[in-house]
Amino acid sequence: MNAAGVVFSWTGSAWQGMVGNLRQVAVGSGVRVWGVAGDGSVHRWNGSAWDRVDGVLKNIAVGADGEVWGVNAAGQVFRWTGSAWDGSTGTLAQIAVGGTGDVWGINAAQQIWQLDVAAWIGTMTARHVLTSDQQLQVMRAQTVQVRRMTTLLETVARNQGVLADMLGRVCKSLSTEVVSSARQLNASIPDAGPLATGITTWHPAATQDASFRLTLHDE
């Protein structure tokens, strides 16, 4: 469709003009083509001409399975039942349909909403509904982020063993100092009996990562 509202269809090698004059065209498949004229009237392509459909809309969207949704000038949302327009909750400025149950839209505040059964769920803020190419770019960016996070987690996992070993050596050094202090204290109080047992070393616990248990034995 050009700026003058003239509608064209791609034949595979060239653009072919169609009858009628529209403000917007929405295509779900080769046989599921809808449009909105400058006065808001709704039209459906029958294969050779545009059939007038009841209702007045500002924006219309068609899914690949024929699911049709529209928004009027007041922002009210409607779904085509096959014979009439059924009102939906919420108000939107623009709507997009992938198929039954896969309906998205933006409101006047530029917030993106997704239909969940009969209610709209706010998801994010953006300037417009993403095109398929933009959605692909988002998915690629998310994939890169996931890969980076995976690499980070793998690095942390590898370093846990190193950190555990370092902590074990530090604890072993501290335990040696504790035993020495306890022995000196025992020697200074001969009638009191042993105040400490022999602390040998720290070992990583078998059931908990990066934790340790103290091994004790009587002298």
Calculate mean pLDDT across residues 173-183. Answer: 58
Q: Mark whether 168 and 151 lie in a shared domain.
A: yes
Name the H helices within the chain.
132-188
Per the CB < 8 A criterion, the answer to whether 32 and 25 are in contact is no
| Six token digits for residue 151 | 């690499």
Tens-digit pLDDT profile for residues 72-126: 999 999 999 999 999 988 899 999 998 887 899 999 988 888 887 656 766 545 4
3-class secondary-structure state, position 122: strand
Within a domain: 1: no
Q: Mark whether 15 and 122 lie in a shared domain.
A: yes
Q: Mark whether 144 and 103 lie in a shared domain.
A: no
Within a domain: 191: yes
Q: Mark whether 118 and 162 lie in a shared domain.
A: no
Residue 215 clears pLDDT 50, i.e. is over it: no
The structural domain count of the chain equals 2
Tens-digit pLDDT profile for residues 190-207: 444 443 334 333 444 444
| Six token digits for residue 114 | 């997704």
Per the structure, the complete domain to which residue 189 belongs is given by 136-217
Within a domain: 145: yes
In the block, residue with structure tokens 């063993």? 161
Between CA 183 and CA 193 the distance in angstroms is 11
Residue 159 clears pLDDT 60, i.e. is over it: yes
Q: Which residue has the higher pLDDT, 218 or 57?
A: 57
Is the pTM higher than 0.85?
no
